[in-house]
Every structure is written in C-alpha cells, then in structure tokens.
Chain A
C-alpha cells in the first residue's frame, strides 16, 4: 500500500475523532434551537464556564475569592481540599441546572415571542456576562483539567497498524474515549426525546408552543430542562476540550467551529449535528493533508466555513434539517 494512502487513513481517523468533539458542541446548539428557536451564541462559553467550575470545585478553590478578599480584607483562596472527579462533575451539573433556571427566569421568560434576532442578541450578552462571571469566580488563568481520562498514544492501535502496514497510527486515547462518550450521550439524548414523557413534551414545545400549552405542557419547565441538558452537553464538551488543551479562554471559541457544523447538518437535527461534525472534522483534516502543502497550509482555519458556504447554496436547510416547504 502506498505511504500516502496509509497516512491518509490515519488523518481520516483523527479527523473523525476531532469531528466528534465538534459534534458535541453543535449538539448543545441544536437542543436549544429546536426547543425555543433561540440560537444560543453562549454555548461555547457555557462549555468554558462548566470546565472552569469543574476545575474550581475539584481543586477546592473559593469562588469569588478576589472579590471576597478585596471587600472583606481577608486572604482566602482555597478550601484546602481536593475532590474526586465524580463529585466535581455532579456539583458542576447542579451549577449548570441552576444557571439554566436563572437564564430562563431572568432573561428569556421576558423575551417570549420576540424576534429571533433579539433572542440572539440576548445570548451574545449572556455569553460575555458568563465569561466575566467565570473569570470573577475562578480567575482568568489557564487551568489544567484532569478527571482521570486516559491520554496519550494508544499502544494497541499503534502496534496493530504497525503489524499490518509497517507504520503505526497515532491515535490519542482521549479521542477514543471522547468518541465513546459522545456516542453514549447521543444515544441517551435520542432515547430521552423519543421515549420519555419529558422528551415528548420537549418535542411538542419544539414544534408548536400554542399546541403544547393546550395539551398541558409548561413551556417554562421545558425551557429550563432544555437549557439544563444543553448545560450538561457543554460540560461534557468542556471536559473533553479542557483535558485536551487546558481550560482557557480559547475554549469558548470552539462555538465558532460548531457554526459550519450546524450549517452542514441543519440547525434542527440531532443526527445532523453528529454527521455534520464528522464531515467537518474529516474534511478539514484530509484537506489540510492533501491540499494544504500545495497552497501554503493553514487551511483548517477556513476550510470548514467554505465547505458550509458551498453547502448553504445548494441545500439551505442542511443535510437533515427540516425541509422548507411553502404551501401556495
């Protein structure tokens, strides 16, 4: 087998796994957009905030310590404990649910029925507010996140591929774990929305608010639930990306990578977010590998957007998005 093809396969696999992470972020967008028609620009910051909170809780950091010290003249920074990852994750989840409730109560409850652009603006405000809040609570420094996920080269794949091709593939254990977790998460979400009462109510709200009210569904409850689920997805994404590249501001920018995924997969489709993520992940890695060297590289910065743009022209609703049918 020619070397180029073997390298290409390795790039392909790595692209798939990067795609899973994109898909995770895109999933959070889809959930909220489906249920409330809000394009949540803050999804990336939610991932950052969740990861920061997780680190803070696990490391026993005192939230708002700078503020507390400045006001009270004290000098507290740490509680002096280290908590296991599971407790940290559960606590962070509780925080995300509380946040979902507050966001609904303070912001979106008052914006029901407003233009989509106004809702979008509100989420931009929310994004910057949460960024500031996160920095204020936990500090703006780059943090290391370690919840015990395996990292580094997968020896088994390396050796097996070496045995077959005479060249060992470099596949990161973390990527493998992320793929498995994402797959489980998606399976749970799909089962939840298809087979449970709350899921059915969620789909009802996503489809028609008035009709949902008439069958006894509380819109407020469903919205808080959806923001909580999106918060959970953000937490998972935050853990994966945070473990990979540290918890820092740039984590919130992965939201921007989710945009082309959404254009490709459609804003309203959970499977679309997954497939879209995979296509973008594989596409940008393969393109960089095959065409990058010819045109000076750094194609990963723009490839996804151009692909999405081309897609938009031919299929504006995305791969799996609801078809736009106009009855005349």
Chain B
C-alpha cells in the first residue's frame, strides 16, 4: 500500500475519505462447533460509508457484534485508531465513541423520544453528582449543551413532531429513526447500523437512505452498516465487504463487488456440473 493510499482517497462525488479508523485483523468467532466468522480482515476509513453484506447466516451481525463488544472473538485483533483494543465490555466500547443500532430495535420503550435521544449523551456527561444535585455550574451548562445537541439531531432527522411521544406508541419506521437519533447524539467516531432498513417499505427505505447519506455528509460520521437489500447498499456505500458462510468473499467498491464472480455465485447460486 502506498502512502497516498494510506492517507485516504476521494470518492466519485468528491468527498474526502481519511485514514483507517478501525481495522479488523484475522477475526475468528466460534459458537461451540459453529464457526460464525472465519479469519476475516477488513478496515473502515474515516468518513466513509462501509457496508457489510451477505446472504442470511453469513455472519454479518456477528461481525457487528464483535466490533461493538457484544461478542468476543476467539482469534484476531481489533485495532481502533491504530491501537490494539483490549477485550472490552459493550458499554466500554460505547464510551470509546462507537455507537450502534440494533436489527430488532433496542429503545427505551417507556421513555419519550427526547429522553431516548438524551441517553445518547450519557457518555458525554461528567459533572459530579453533587454539582448535579445543586444544579450549579458545570452540571447546568452540560445539560443545556446536551439538550441543544439532541434538539439539533431531532430536527435533522425530522422527528420534532414526536419529541414528547413515548417510544412504545411509535410505528416501526419511526422507531428505527429514533434509534438512529440516539446513536447520533453520542457524536460517534464510528456509527454501526444493523440492518437499518429491515422490514421497511420502499418509501421508508428511501427516507432512511437519505438520512444515512445526510448524516455522513453533514457530520462527517464514519458509518459501517449491514444490509440485506443489495440495491440499497450499492447506492449508499463507498466500499463493501461481502461475507458468505462466515468467510470474506469480496471487498471493494460497489462496482468491483458487483462484478466479482464469487459474490455473484453466493447471491445467485452456482451450478455444480
């Protein structure tokens, strides 16, 4: 790899992609005898939208769970900002600035939308309990600042009208958007989206795609996402990792991946004669 490459690249639409933020090195994850991920390496660069795709059971979600600390791989290294990451609990990973959403949505159903988004700021609150109790100085400043950031994100994702609504009352598509808002509120260095468009209709998918692109464009957020829908992924992402049966079978720009024979075989099937 040349130095120029290592410093990043410029996309077709003129966005500057930076150096490597996160690197997965020879990751292997087993559940008992089942190998979910087999010796996979790839990297995520600053400012890019990186997709992980593959058929059902390919190990995509497992990979995301390794990055976010929910699963601990048996082999391999995770490098964050060039440094090897020691084994971490999910909450520690979150504190490092890696936010995520879940395939099946994990929101605080009993809280309002605003409260949900505010929990995304928890890692940014460090005034002492005493100063919070007295509501003085740092605590007050912090709360006001955090509130402003959250309101900005709520505006950005166009959910102002449901700010005070308890999440349990919202339809599926909006819940997905609230979850994205909460993840964004933490101003993540890396945002992980687990099937952000699963179960949506065409219109909702288009909305979500637009928001993902806007987030990346507006805040420069590095995004890694998992998606089933090939069409969506190809339009959205800068680079794509393709997995099948726990192995990496392709890695590159959408065009490169689309023309990769192994990928075509995995998605369309291959004749055995």
Contact = CB atoms under 8 A, between A and B. Distances in A.
Interface string B135-161: 100000000000000000000000000
B43 to A, nearest CB: 23
B123 A215 contact: yes
A210 B115 CA distance: 17
Interface stretch (B20-28, B71-79, B93-101, B223-231): B93-101
Interface hub of B89, B100, B127, B132 (most chain A Cβ within 10 A): B132
Interface hub of A211, A214, A322, A325 (most chain B Cβ within 10 A): A214
B108 A211 contact: yes
A208 B106 contact: yes
Nearest to B182: A215
A78 interface: no
A203 B99 contact: no
Contact of B107 (A195, A198, A200, A211): A211
Contacts of B186: 215-216
A218 interface: yes
B94 A216 contact: yes
Interface size class of A (residues with CB under 8 A): 20 to 34
Given A214-B68, A214-B106, A204 B90 contact: no
23 contacts: A195-B132, A197-B127, A197-B129, A197-B132, A200-B119, A200-B122, A201-B122, A203-B110, A203-B115, A204-B108, A204-B119, A211-B108, A211-B119, A212-B119, A213-B70, A213-B89, A214-B99, A214-B183, A215-B122, A215-B186, A217-B91, A217-B119, A217-B122
A4 interface: no
B3 interface: no
Interface string A185-206: 0000000000111101101101
Interface of B: 68, 70, 89-92, 94-95, 99-100, 102, 106-111, 115, 118-120, 122-123, 125, 127, 129, 132-133, 135, 168, 182-183, 186
B91 A196 contact: no
Given A204-B108, A210-B106, A211-B107, 12 more contacts: A195-B132, A197-B122, A204-B119, A204-B122, A206-B110, A207-B108, A213-B90, A214-B90, A215-B94, A216-B92, A216-B95, A322-B110
Contacts, number: 81
B133 A196 contact: yes
Interface of A: 195-198, 200-201, 203-204, 206-208, 210-219, 322, 325
Per CB-CB distance, the 10 closest pairs between chain A and chain B, nearest first, are A216-B94, A211-B106, A207-B108, A216-B123, A213-B90, A197-B125, A216-B95, A210-B106, A196-B132, A218-B91
A212 B122 CA distance: 10
Nearest to A205: B108
Given A196-B133, A213-B90, A214-B99, A208 B109 contact: yes
A17 to B, nearest CB: 28
Contacts of B106: 208, 210-211, 214
Nearest to A198: B129
A225 to B, nearest CB: 10
A211 B108 CA distance: 7
A208 B108 contact: yes
A195 B129 CA distance: 10
B195 to A, nearest CB: 15
B107 A214 contact: no
Contacts of B125: 197
Contacts of B110: 203, 206-207, 322
Nearest to B186: A215
Nearest to B126: A197
A37 B266 CA distance: 44
A127 to B, nearest CB: 29
A214 B100 contact: yes
A219 B99 CA distance: 17
A321 to B, nearest CB: 11
A105 B109 CA distance: 29
A109 to B, nearest CB: 12
Contacts of A219: 91
Interface hub of B91, B102, B118 (most chain A Cβ within 10 A): B91
Nearest to A199: B132
A199 to B, nearest CB: 9
Contact of A214 (B94, B115, B133, B135): B94
A206 to B, nearest CB: 8
Contact of A203 (B90, B91, B111, B132): B111
A208 B105 CA distance: 11
A218 to B, nearest CB: 5
Nearest to A213: B90
A35 to B, nearest CB: 13
Nearest to A217: B91
Given A197-B122, A200-B118, A215-B186, A208 B107 contact: yes
A208 B107 CA distance: 7
